[in-house]
């Protein structure tokens, strides 16, 4: 080694890192497995919950969308378009022209 070079030899660096990490983690393998998110029982529970959360909406959508009778029954429960009551029909264009002529005659006479 040169005088200004302060490198640590590789075997010494590796052993110091191993001892640092092994001293910090003193838990047993069983404790680590119990604490992990995917432990033996916890992992299966999480997978099961996810499967239910995904399967229920998909199954309901399929059941409603593919059965025409069910879809019609659900759509018929609440009226989605409510039209106002029918009022009087507007006058035809001929009637409007005749009214306009009458109004024009009255204005000429006044």
Over residues 48-107, the pLDDT tens digits come to 999 999 999 999 988 888 888 877 888 888 877 778 888 889 999 999 999 999 999 999
Please, where are the H alpha helices in 1-110? Answer: 10-24, 29-35, 40-66, 68-76, 93-109
Exposed, middle or buried, 39 (CB in 10 Å: 0-12/13-18/19+)?
Answer: middle
Give the model's confidence band at 25: pLDDT under 50 very low, under 70 low, under 90 confident, else very high.
low
């Amino acid at each position: 080694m040169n005088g200004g070079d302060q490198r640590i030899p590789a075997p010494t660096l590796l052993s110091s890192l191993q001892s640092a990490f092994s001293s910090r983690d003193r838990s047993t393998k069983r404790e680590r497995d119990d604490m992990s998110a995917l432990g033996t029982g916890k992992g299966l529970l999480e997978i099961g919950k996810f499967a239910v959360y995904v399967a229920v909406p998909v199954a309901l959508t399929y059941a409603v969308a593919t059965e025409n009778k069910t879809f019609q029954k659900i759509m018929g429960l609440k009226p989605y378009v409510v039209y106002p009551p029918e009022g009087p029909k507007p006058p035809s264009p001929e009637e409007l022209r005749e009214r306009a002529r009458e109004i024009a005659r009255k204005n000429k006479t006044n």
